[in-house]
Amino acid sequence: MAVNRKLPRRSAPAPAPPVRRGRAHGDASRERILAAAREIASERGYDGTSIALVSERSGLPASSIYWHFADKDELLAAVIERSFARWMEAMTSRTRAREGATREQRLVATLRAAAKALSDAPDFLRLGLMLSLERRPEEASARTLFLKVREQTREQLIAQYEAEFAGELDAAGVRKLAALALAAADGLFIAREVSGDERAFVASFELLAPALLGAAEQLRSRQRH
């Protein structure tokens, strides 16, 4: 006698989830906005940049820009943050000193990497230097962010020089050397902006190495007297 067994009903396969395009589309729009703001800020500076111009350059409506950023200041702060992150990444990947290199060769390698990274991602310094010279009744968050990443750079230089000149320079001497390096880099960057001479920019950065070593020697001499 055949047993009538009911086979279990197979449930229909669950429908595939819809392709989520919203986030990808939003990220692409944000990138277009940042790229447009970076270009305009490079050409016109902080005050010359406006949401209307960014909208025109990016091809996106102002409502889309305000969906991503509260105002122009927040947008330009994001430009500075993005550019600084790119500079740091380029610095890390390019700073290579061969094994057994002299102190001057190590400094040259670091300075060359800094110059070439600035060539790739100059916007944080270009816009930040303009903002750092301004005084406004209400502090721009873009300026505040630049000063923050500036301090981060200074602290990294101090750490590098503490390791390089351990037992030779005291804490005050290391801070002075870092301040000199930053000031010289600013000046060379401004000269590059005026001349547009990329090769001279990198070569001038490399010349900072013997200058910094000479300054370190002067600082050591002052410590001894």
Residue 190 pLDDT > 50 = yes
What letter would DSSP give residue 18? P
Give the pLDDT confidence of 105-121 residue by residue, as tens digits. 999 999 999 999 999 99
Are the CB atoms for 38 and 48 separated by under 8 Å? no
Give the pLDDT confidence of 31-79 residue by residue, as tens digits. 999 999 999 998 898 889 999 999 999 999 999 999 999 999 999 999 9
Return d(Cα 216, Cα 173) in angstroms, integer: 8
- Of the candidates 73, 85, 218, which has an alpha carbon nearest to the alpha carbon of residue 143? 73
What confidence tier does 183 reach under pLDDT thresholds 50, 70, 90?
very high
**Structural domains present in the chain:** 23-69 (1.10.10.60), 76-224 (1.10.357.10)
pTM summary value: 0.80
Return d(Cα 72, Cα 142) in angstroms, integer: 9
Residue written as token pair 């940049």: 49
